[in-house]
Amino acid sequence: MTHTSAPTAPATPRPPSQHTLALMIWIAVTPTLLAINLLLGPLMAGIPVVPRTIITVTIAVPIVIYGLMPLLHRIRRRWAMSRRS
């Protein structure tokens, strides 16, 4: 009787290091905050700084977490896998 092993899944890269993750977050957050401030800054000029910050963060966090970070993780995985080849 021959024993066949199950196909192995392709190797997945390790999670990003703390420094890589910090860089990825910076890459996502900086242009997001700049865009929000450029687009909404004039509309929010009369709002005090605390509510203005809460509004900005409420808009920025979903963009970064659900939009940009998954994209950056995919790019990092592709880059890491290409370096293995």
**pLDDT tens-digit readout, 23-78:** 999 999 999 999 999 999 999 999 999 999 999 999 999 999 999 999 999 999 99
Distance between start and end Cα atoms, the chain: 35
pLDDT computed for residue 36 by the predictor: 97
Residue for token digits 């420094």?
19
- pLDDT exceeds cutoff 90 at 15: no
Task: Tell me what pLDDT residue 9 has.
Answer: 60
What residue spans of 1-85 are helical by DSSP H? 18-40, 49-62, 69-84
65-68 contacts at long range (C-beta below 8 A, 24 or more positions apart): 68/27, 68/28, 68/32
Cβ contacts of 55 within 8 Å, gap of 6 or more: 40, 44, 47
Res 82 pLDDT > 80: yes
- pTM for this one? 0.77
